Each structure stands twice: as structure tokens, then as C-alpha cells.
Amino acid sequence: MNANEPNVLPPRRKTRQVTVGDVTVGGDAPIRVQSMCSTDTRDVRKTLEQIHRLEEAGCEMVRVAVPDREAAAALPELIRNMQVPLIADIHFNHRLALEALDAGVAKVRINPGNVGGEARAKEVIRAAEAAGAAVRIGVNSGSLERDLLEKYGYPTPAALAESAARHLAFVDDLGFHNVVSSIKSTHVPTNLAAHLLLAEQTDVPFHIGITEAGMPPYAVTKSAAGLGPLLMHGLGDTIRISLTTDPVDEIKACFDLLKALDIRVTSPEVVACPTCGRIDIDLEEVVRDVESRIADIKIPIRISVLGCAVNGPGEAREADIGIAGGKGSGILFRDGELVRRVPEDRLVDALEEEVRKLAAEREALA
């Protein structure tokens, strides 16, 4: 985010680009953020309410469960009343995938190993091709094929990668290329190792996530621990942080992770020093105030909020804009240069003014 900082991450893996409705995935497209509704899909009103909140939060694709024909029948009305592509999550019944595609979904998520054999999986792929839809080939540690469990003993990274590669080869042999792959394990090291193995065998874009991560805050920490290394290896084209809570919370967690890695920054980053005995201002309250005031800004800016004159001035200079508080006053920096000293009760006002000025300048150049 700071123009002086080098890009130290390896380049993203070169993948084919696929289309999910009007959203591109893979290639040089941004890493896409998605979530899944927690509502009963058959309840169209509640599902649309959640979809609209997800859209407002920045979600770029929404998945819904399609466990039966009644849920499949609800899909057309959902599609008519939403702005982002809809993905149908299908398990076991290939006919539900066919109905979802006929309803106009942009993508279906299937595991070819549990839809009743190759003939039925082929039928789904051909229907997706005819509809211009995408297919996500999902492999989970809890749904590996029996022969692979017998071969490896349990869901090892090699077993997961072999399962995914097997299904992708089947789809590729059909000449279908609008496909995304996902491998998900709740065990973080297994998840990483499986992706590294599969990445050597395919150029298919990856949807990444940690399955069954649980409740926040631990689930956010676990997902960051699992997905951060993947992203830093250049792997991942769409992302979901799965939380046992309101799915809208997943969107912020995804964008925060991408921001922390300087991969996709769509809003300001506020960095602040930890609490210590040297702090001369109510730093926690100041940070909350700053974050609430700039919540509407969608321009990448690094803002430093520091609480004392010991390390504050030097660290504030590493940000685009920074303040360092002192006893009764503070210092405002921009681009490493001292702008002025400001009374403590005007410090946040001065920071907000400078942030909005910089945001306007960057927006004009965009």
C-alpha cells in the first residue's frame, strides 16, 4: 500500500481464466471474495435479505444450498432479485444440479464422486456447458472416495490432491474448461500441503478455504493461519473464510486478510501500536474513533495511530498518514514528513481531514 514498499510475495500462480456469470475468476482477475447463505433456500424472503446484506458488504459471489427440488424451485426468484452471481451447492443428487442449471445459476458446486457415477457427472458437465455456467469441483477431507481412503489410510494431502486431480482430468477429457477446483480440510497443514501438490498438476483456478473452522475469533485466526500461507505461495483465486456466525462477517474477514497481505486492498488500513506504559493518550478510543470516521472510504491508504513520542514519530513515517500522540498534543505526518503539531482534542479531526484529502487525490488519479 505504501509506494516505497517492494512486492516481496511470489507472483500468483498462472491459471486459466473462467467466468462465473459476469465475474471473472483466475488469470489476472482479482482474488474474488465469496460466502454462502445460512438461510433455508426455500425461504426466498429471508435468503434474499441475507444475499442483499452480503452484496452490500462486498461479496462477489453467493452460494446457496440446494438439498431438494423445493430449494431448486426457489432459485429463479433469487437470481432475478440479486446483483452478484448465484452458485448452487449440490450433494448426491445430480438432478438437482440439472435443475439449478436450468434455473440459470452461474455455477454449480459438485463432488463428482458423490453424484452417482461418471455418467451422471458427465450429464451435469454437459448441462453446464450448454448453459454457459461454471462448475466447481469440490473435494473435502470428509468425502474422499473409498479407494483413496484404502490406499492412503486417511485423508492425507496426497489423497486429497489425487482425488481433485482425478475429477479434473475427467472434466478435462470432456473438453470442459470453465471449472474451478477446491480442496478443503479442517486441518491447516493438510490443507496447505494438498494445494501445493495439486498446483503442480493443473492450471485450474483454486477456491480456497478452511472447512469447519468454527466460531470466531478462533475461526478467523485458524482461517488466516491456513489461507495466509496459500496466498503467500501465490495460490488462490477465490476465497471464503467459513464462520459459524452471520456470513456477512466472513466478507470483512476475507478482505482484512487480503489487505494484511497487501494482495487486494479496497479500504484504508489502520495500524496502531500495542498498549504499553508509555502511551500518553487513550489509544484504544482514538483508534475506534478513526476507524468509524473513515468507514466510508474505499481507497487504499495506510494510516498509523501511535500513542507516544518514543517510537511514534519514526513508525508514523512508514505510513501514508500518521499521528503520534503526546501529553496534551500530537504530531501529524504525511508521506514521512511532519505536517504540523495538533492539540490532543483536535488530533483525530486533523487526521481525518488529511486522510480525506489524500483519498480525493488518489481517486482523481484512478
Q: What pLDDT score does 333 carry? A: 86
Residues 47 and 63: their CA atoms lie apart, in Å, by: 11
Residues 339 and 353: their CA atoms lie apart, in Å, by: 12
Give residue-wise pLDDT tens across range 88-119: 999 888 999 999 999 999 999 988 777 767 88
Give residue-wise pLDDT tens across range 65-96: 999 999 999 999 999 999 999 999 998 889 99
* 179 phi and psi angles, rounded to 5 deg: -130, 145
Structural domains of the chain ordered from first start: 17-260 (3.20.20.20), 269-365 (3.30.413.10)
Q: What pLDDT score does 272 carry? A: 80
Please state the separation of Cα 86 from the chain's center in Å: 16
Give residue-wise pLDDT tens across range 152-192: 998 999 999 999 999 999 999 999 999 999 999 899 999 99
> Can you say whether residue 358 is alpha, beta or left, with left for phi > 0 and alpha for psi between -120 and 50 degrees?
alpha
Q: What pLDDT score does 335 carry? A: 84
pLDDT score of 20 more than 90? yes
The DSSP symbol for 237 reads S
The answer to whether the CB of 223 falls within 8 A of the CB of 193 is: no
3-state secondary structure of 347: helix
Per the prediction, the chain carries an average pLDDT of: 89
Q: What pLDDT score does 275 carry? A: 65
Rounded alpha-carbon distances, angstroms, from residue 25 to 107, 227, 238, 288, 354? 12, 18, 7, 35, 36
> What would the mean pLDDT of 238-250 be, rounded to a whole number?
95
Confidence (pTM): 0.88
- As a whole-number percent, the residues of the chain with pLDDT over 90 amount to 63
The residue ranking higher by pLDDT, 4 or 59, is 59
Give me the torsion for CA of 141, 143, 144, 145, rounded to 10°: 180
pLDDT score of 25 more than 90? yes
- Extended beta strands in the chain, E state: 17-20, 23-26, 32-36, 61-65, 86-89, 107-110, 134-140, 179-184, 207-208, 238-239, 269-272, 302-306, 321-325, 329-334, 337-343
The half-sphere exposure of 366 on its side-chain side, counting CA atoms within 13 A, is 11
Give residue-wise pLDDT tens across range 193-240: 999 999 999 999 999 999 888 899 999 999 999 999 999 999 999 999
Q: What pLDDT score does 6 carry? A: 56
Strongest mean pLDDT among 6-15, 20-29, 297-306, 351-360: 20-29
Q: What pLDDT score does 117 carry? A: 79
The answer to whether the CB of 19 falls within 8 A of the CB of 25 is: yes
Q: Is 40 exposed, middle or buried (0-12, 13-18, 19+ CB in 10 A)?
A: middle
Tell me whether strands 17-20 and 32-36 are parallel, antiparallel or unpaired. Answer: unpaired
Give residue-wise pLDDT tens across range 294-353: 999 998 999 988 876 555 556 656 789 988 876 777 888 888 788 888 888 888 899 999
Q: What pLDDT score does 363 carry? A: 87
Q: What pLDDT score does 278 carry? A: 59
Please tell me whether the peptide bond between 30 and the residue prior to it is cis, using omega within 30 degrees of 0.
no
Q: What pLDDT score does 276 carry? A: 62
